[in-house]
Structures are given as structure tokens and as C-alpha cells.
Chains A and B, each alone.
Chain A
């Protein structure tokens, strides 16, 4: 069954975010002959159109209006739903990002459509598309489908395998003039984080250090690895007490509780006070010189060895990894 698919192409600082390519990859599996379109809201680099084409977009709607240069729910909901009404897609896909999470529910209600959020898997099944998504912080999963109306879904980043990039593809570029009446919320100020660090409690990947990191420089190394992986840096109480890092990084019983997809514990013994803060991580990696350290009891993967060497090595391996798009 062929379906027309519309993907919201999200950009960051003008560059297309990886999750857009992931959404386009999904589109390729479900379009089954139907047209795949992408929509770019707000200004962006001209070469983005061809980049989108390389992942399967046949048509790119360029929605330019200076009111879209900064995200606001009203402007984006009005522009996007207007485009949807005009383009009439069967399937609408967004990334489950800050923009996606904020925009999709309102847009779905405005369109009278069901919405399946935070999807980690997509399979076409006859006339239906079955979406898989985690529930209960990933302890269980559900499969859902849209019963009627447009199929609307947000895709969790870093979960869908990318389709093959087809160089040299072209897409039809169409300018769309949005109807934006009224913007009720005003963005007064944006305070950018100085460090490249992502908020610990939201981070999907955390590289954490314990006493084994031995000093502040050790933490710089962890930050490098975190940067390469697109994650944040955390710490055990022991490391904070020893002055290797700030207490805002502390994870554990008296610190922050985190539930990332990946938790890399470096030089952390795994005492219960720390484990209580990260035991619900999806995947736990432990790096420690002590093979009897309790952390290995809860780790999925373990390296008994020097964390400095491991991290440095992991950094170089990960950054030169074979995935064609940068980890974003």
C-alpha cells in the first residue's frame, strides 16, 4: 500500500539533525511507492535540500517565515498543520526531540489525529504500520497502530538504523507560505549552556567517573568521551568529595537519579549508594581495575582495566566509527 509521507526536517544551527535522516529512513520502509516529502521550517542552508534528498526525500517544502526562525508552539503548529492540510500526507513523522515533543501533540489535536510518541521501531504490516515504543522507562514495550486518520508519530533518536545514503539525488523544492495569525508566547531570552554538557537527567548517554579517575584531568578525559558519544558527564559521590568535579555531577542516593540508555561507569566501585541513582539505565558498561568491584554485577559489558586507556581508546574508536552521519 503506497503512502505519502511527510517528515519534519529539524535543523540545529542550520544543520539537519540526525533524527531527521532516521525519520526519512523510516519513511523509505513505509512509503512503498508513495511520495516522501520533507518540510523545513525557518531558515536553513540551501544544501540541506539535497542532503534530504540523499536520504529519500523527493519533495522538500521550504517554509520560510522569519517568525519560524525561533521555535514557538503557535507559529510552528499553525505553519505545520497548514502545510499538512495542503500536502495531505498519509503519514507524518517528527523526531522525538524538544521541538517534536512540544509540537506534535498540539498539531495532532488540531488535525484530529492520533499520535504515537517516542517510537523505537516501525514495521509495515499489511495495511497497517505497527509502531514499537517503550513504556515504564523501558522495562516493557508496546506495539501500537493508528486506527483511522493520518498516521502521526515521533521517532526516538538513535534507535532507527539509517538507510543507505544515495548520493546525487535531487528533490523538488517547493516554497510554502504559512498562515501564522497569532503568536501568544514570546521568547524573551535564550541562555545557552556554556559547557557543551547536556543536562544529566535528560542525557541519553552518560559517562560517569568515580574515585578511580584520580583527579580533575581524568574528568576532562571523560568529557571528551562524552562529547564524542553525544552524552553528559556524571560522577559518583566519591569523586565529588575528592574534589575531582563539581557536586552537580553527582549521581546516586543523595545526588541525581538518571535513566540513560547508556551508562559508562569509569572507576566506580558500584556501592549501593551510587547504584540507586543509575540502576534503571538501559545499558551499563563498567570499567574498573578491580574485577571484584560490585559494579560488574549490574553491568551489561565490563572491561577490567585501566579507565584512562579505555576511554582514550574508546574515544578514537567511536569518533572514527563507521556510521556515515555524525552522532547527533
Chain B
């Protein structure tokens, strides 16, 4: 439908212009000579298609009642406008024919039909009716023109700009803050005008289609956060504030929109954080980017949320208590639980059959295995690290770990808004990589993968970064890893957000599973780019979900619908979340949760 609308609109403009001229110059036609009839035909077909499209739009919004589409008058305005325009166009053309006595033509099928129906009314009546509908068309068109910039239809202007100005950098990469200036009083975004310009264009590009909210894991489980509302609330706030600051109303003609005057005092305007957007909403985001992925006009919701989190954390020191504890633990012991940093490499001792040297113990390594806090300390995730180490040993890959010197990668700190802590950790890790001459890094955690690959280079990292699935697949392709033992399981595969939407790695894990004899891969309804977040990203792993249903339970239910014997994951957070979800559903006996590395290990 939108395809027709988009291209149709462009095509129709020419016809509309011609129609306007027809009102001034009787019988006017573009000077296309013989080809004009093709022009007419194109116009008629397009107009008819657009008309059908508006009926379809009406059906979707008001009859099928798609949940993400609003049903108020405003949302329907456009359908009314468009329908009006299309019908009045066709009728004008039809009555022009009656008025001027043109014969029906195969190149004007629709208007011709209507003209035939009314052919008996005579030329004068035809002329009068032509002008009636000409005026209807003109007035509708001009009102629409006035209306467009003042409604969500401004997306017609802003969306192309937004898409054109879109960052081509890796998806979801956050911009750093410069901390050099020690007199800075504010960090992050606390006022709407502190956003960058292209972030603000997003607000007007939004067409309120609701796709973002329909896929958002927070919105879908009853949290206050709704990506679309986030954008529209900020848009309205910006408009109001702009009016207040410039002492001019944003709405024209002013007498029609009298209620929304521009005389408010800028100092009395509601606060961006707290009044317009609540802290509850800001802390509910898992940074899964499903919203951004869905958005047809390339809006970026997540970076705005992180910018506001930065304001709260860095400028005000305000955050949920669990977040403060998280930061403190990372600062003191370099892991989220505050466990002794000298225990970081103790996971190696969990199994006798793996060789995991540290960079101090060997200089001869190809890959630096960045284990991460989960793999190092979380008892369940340690098994992923151990399985992966086993796979690397088996394939003869030379690798080493940083050991107790390994610091948290800082990804979660960054997403929670603590840019300062992130940059500190980032610098420390890069120093370590340089000191040990690290050229290739592999990790089991997609969050670490994403930040090392896409965000660390900005701070000086020069190394190739791989996710463990990438390396495993490479080993399989090179024949260094032969999967011979059957693993007879039906695996419901869960795409993680940071491997999937952030880095577009969907096929490699599936190819790996395909190469494991006996594994049957079950695809969830929401998979690949549409995969639903497990609920742990954006710091949510460490925060309490206070509203609605638990995100991980919702996702687990989706997995369990496939009646799998195993839920397959590629991320330690997802593994934890899905395992807990299965436990909550009391299905631990029937369904196990395994990482890809663990599944592969069972096959060698």
C-alpha cells in the first residue's frame, strides 16, 4: 500500500498541477502532443490505485484494527484528505469530459466511465460540476499542504532528509563524550535542545506507524516504554518549547489552533527527563534496536535513550540502586558482582581437559580469547567458555586469555549511560591489548563482540574481532573441526540482538547447527532481524523489572511453543535469561538451554 502511496504521490503531482491549470485555461493539457494520452492513462491508473490504497489503509486501521495503528480522528485525517483528493480528481476529469464534450477514450478509462454515466446532463451542468470538483480538489490540496508540516505527515519532508543524513556507521554505535574539559557541568542530554540536529529531525520524520512499539520487548510486556510514544512526546515537547522560546506559535493559522499558544515561559516548560519522558521509561530499554530496525524512516530511538541515561548517571548521579551497585562493583573489582578480581581466571580449573594459557604464560598465540565477566564468574556461563576452549584445543587453535588483568569490556556501562566508566575501561583494555601484541580477538559474548569491533577502534583498538560462532564456522569450513558425533536434538534457535540486529550475523550460527549431525533447527516466529530480545540487554540484566510481565518469560514461551528439546543461544545473557525462563515454566526436565559452543562440543 505504501509503495503505491509513495510512488503514486510523485506521479500524481503532475496530474494535479495540470488539473489546477485546467481550471484557469479551459481544456488545458500538458504539451506532450500525442503522448499525452499515455500521460492521462498513467494518471488515471495511478489515481485509481491510490484510491484503492486509501481504502485498504482504512481497512487496516479501522476494520482490521491493527494494534499498532491509532484510530483517532487525526490518524484518519490523511485518509480522508487522500480519498477526497482522488475522488475529486476523477470526478473533475469526468465532468471536464462532459463539459467539453470529449469522447470516452480508452486512455481515460475511469473518468470516461463516469463521464458516460453523466453524459446526459449537458455541457453547462458538466462545466459547473467540473468547477465544483475542481474547487474541492484545489481546496483539499491546499489544506493538505498547510496540514502536512503540522502533522505526522511532515514525514514527507523529513523522512527523505533523515534517510539521506543517516549515519552509515555500524548500527547502534554510540557517540563518545569528550571528557577533557573539566569544567563541563552537564553530560548527556537533559534538555530537548541538547540533542544533535539529526536526532531532532527524527522526531518530525516519525509517521506514527507504530511498528517500533509493536516489536519492542518492553512495550510488549506491559512496561510504560513505547518507542513511538517516546518519539512523539519529544516531538510535541520540542514544538512547544520551540514556540515558547521563539514566542511564536508553531501552528498556522494561529486562529485555528488557538489553544496551543506560543506564550509559555521557557523556564516553566516541563522537564524533558521526568515530565516528558519518565525515568521508568528510560530504564526499561534493553537496547535491542528492534525499534530502529523496524522504522521505515530510519529513526534512532536507542541513542536518544542512552543520551538521557547519560544525563541521569553522569550529571545527576541518579540511577536505580542496582545500577549504582553495578558501577561500583565494576570500578572496584572489574566485574558486575564485585567478586574478587583475582578470581577472574579461576574458571579454567573447572575442567581438567582444557588448556587455557594466559598471556603471561605464553607468548605464542593467534587469538586473544576475551572471556568477559559472565564467562569468567557466572557458573553457568563458565561452561560456555570451557566448551569453547575445548573446541579451540581440539582444533589446534593457539589462543590465550588476559587472565586476571582482563577488565570488563564496558559495553553495559556505556549502554547504561556511564560513558566515563566505559572510556576508562576501554582505554585500559586497549593498553593491555597493545602490551601483549594482540592482533585477533575472539569472544563468546555478542555485547563484547559488538563493542570491541565497532566502538573500540574509535579509541585506538587495532585488531580483528570475532564472535565465537564466526571462528567455529571458519574452523568447520577449513576442516579443522569435524563434527561427527550425533546430537539428536530439536533446537529452537534464539537470535541474540547484538549478534543479529547489531551485526547481521544470522546465517553462520544456523550453518553451524546445520553441520551438527542430528540437530534439527526450529525457527521461532520472531527470528533473525525480528527476533525478540531476551530482556537482558541495556543493563537490564542487573536491574529489576518492576512492571508487567518478565521479558524473558515472554520469549521463553515463544520458544517453548515449538516443543524443542533444546533452546540454542549464542550469548551468555540470553542463555541465563532463557534458562531462568524455562525454570519459571517448570520445564527444566524437558528442555535444556545450550550455547552453540556447547552443542558443537557434543559433536566432536
Contact = CB atoms under 8 A, between A and B. Distances in A.
Q: Do A and B bind each other?
A: yes
Interface of A: 211, 238, 241-242, 253-254, 270-273, 276, 279, 294, 297
A270 B338 CA distance: 17
B365 interface: no
A238 B583 contact: yes
B380 A271 contact: yes
- A-B pairs, top 5 by smallest CB distance, nearest first, are A276-B337, A294-B379, A272-B378, A254-B322, A272-B379
Interface in B576-599: 580, 583-584
B80 to A, nearest CB: 49
A292 to B, nearest CB: 11
B583 A253 contact: no
Contacts of A271: 378-380
Nearest to B380: A271
Interface of B: 322, 336-339, 377-380, 542-544, 580, 583-584
B379 A276 contact: no
B379 A211 contact: no
Contacts of B336: 253
A118 to B, nearest CB: 24
Contacts of B379: 270-272, 294, 297
Contact of B337 (A241, A272, A294, A297): A272
B542 A254 contact: yes
Contact of B584 (A241, A253, A276, A279): A241
A276 B544 contact: no
A272 B377 contact: yes
Nearest to A294: B379
B379 to A, nearest CB: 4
Given A272-B337, A294-B379, 7 more contacts: A238-B580, A254-B542, A254-B544, A271-B380, A272-B378, A276-B339, A297-B379
Nearest to B326: A253
Nearest to A293: B379
Contacts of A294: 379
Nearest to A277: B337
A279 B338 CA distance: 11
A253 B337 contact: yes
Given A253-B337, A272-B337, A211 B378 contact: no
9 contacts: A211-B583, A238-B580, A254-B544, A271-B379, A272-B339, A272-B379, A276-B337, A279-B339, A294-B379
A293 to B, nearest CB: 10
Nearest to A272: B378
A238 B581 CA distance: 11
Contacts of B339: 272, 276, 279
Interface residues of chain A: helix, strand, loop or mixed (majority): loop
Contacts of B580: 238
B142 to A, nearest CB: 59
A175 B339 CA distance: 55
B469 to A, nearest CB: 24
Given A211-B583, A241-B584, A253-B542, A276 B338 contact: yes
A252 to B, nearest CB: 9
A248 to B, nearest CB: 13
Given A254-B542, A276-B337, A242 B584 contact: yes
A24 to B, nearest CB: 41
Nearest to B544: A254
A276 B322 CA distance: 13
B453 to A, nearest CB: 27
A312 to B, nearest CB: 24
B222 to A, nearest CB: 16
A270 B380 CA distance: 10
A242 B583 CA distance: 10
Contacts of A253: 322, 336-337, 542
A276 to B, nearest CB: 4
A48 B379 CA distance: 53
B543 to A, nearest CB: 8
Contacts of A273: 337
Nearest to B373: A272
Contacts of A297: 379
A253 B543 CA distance: 10
Contacts of B583: 211, 238
Contacts of A276: 337-339
A238 B585 CA distance: 12
The residue among B336, B379, B580, B583 with the most chain A CB atoms within 10 A of its own CB is B379
Contacts of B584: 241-242
Nearest to B378: A272
A10 B584 CA distance: 48
Contacts of B543: 254
A238 B583 CA distance: 9
A40 to B, nearest CB: 44
B594 to A, nearest CB: 16
A103 to B, nearest CB: 34
A272 B337 CA distance: 8
Nearest to B550: A241
Contacts of A238: 580, 583
Nearest to B340: A279
A241 B581 CA distance: 11
A242 B586 CA distance: 11
A241 B583 CA distance: 11
Contacts of A254: 322, 542-544
Nearest to B579: A271
Contacts of B378: 271-272
B386 to A, nearest CB: 14
Nearest to A252: B337
A232 to B, nearest CB: 22
A253 B378 CA distance: 12
**Residue from B322, B337, B542, B580 whose CB has the most chain A CB atoms within 10 Å:** B337
Contacts of A241: 584
A238 B336 CA distance: 19
A211 B580 CA distance: 11
A279 B377 CA distance: 13
Contacts of A279: 339
A294 B322 CA distance: 24
Nearest to B374: A272
Contacts of A242: 584
A290 to B, nearest CB: 10
B539 to A, nearest CB: 12
A273 B338 CA distance: 11
Nearest to B339: A276
A271 B580 CA distance: 11
A271 B544 CA distance: 17
Nearest to A241: B584
A128 B566 CA distance: 67
A271 B379 CA distance: 6
Contacts of B322: 253-254
A9 B583 CA distance: 51
A242 B580 CA distance: 12
A247 to B, nearest CB: 9
